[in-house]
Amino acid sequence: GDSVTQMEGPVTLSEEAFLTINCTYTATGYPSLFWYVQYPGEGLQLLLKATKADDKGSNKGFEATYRKETTSFHLEKGSVQVSDSAVYFCALIYGGATNKLIFGTGTLLAVQP
């Protein structure tokens, strides 16, 4: 079945470092791909999404490109801040009668000043 695999954390970076969180997926078709973020004490928030191959989603300095050839959707940010510390979830929707999200295990990012 459809699944999402993302790099395990925690990922610890210093402020202004470059961030990459890897995400790959397995799907029988062409899903939409998402990154959600959960800040401490809050619910999940949509960070960015891409609905077709080669689309780039971007928000708050984060970017991810939908790569069909490598079935990947890696999250990147050029310069992280302490406020980016959170858990990041990669997810897909494969459509159908119900739009259930299929999530990866989440990656905890800790940014130190």
Binding site for another protein (CB under 8 A): 4, 32, 36, 41-46, 49, 51, 89, 91, 93-106
From the number of C-beta atoms within 10 Å of its C-beta (0-12, 13-18, 19+), residue 13 rates as middle
What residue spans of 1-113 are helical by DSSP H? Answer: none
Residue number, 45 or 81, with CB nearest to another protein: 45
Residue 31 C-beta: closest distance to another protein, Å: 8
Strand partners, 15: none
Residue number, 36 or 73, with CB nearest to another protein: 36
- From its phi and psi, is residue 44 left (phi > 0), alpha (psi between -120 and 50) or beta? beta
Residue 7 C-beta: closest distance to another protein, Å: 13
Show the CA angle centred on residue 9, arms to residues 84 and 25, nearest 5°. 95
Residue number, 80 or 92, with CB nearest to another protein: 92
Residue 59 C-beta: closest distance to another protein, Å: 12
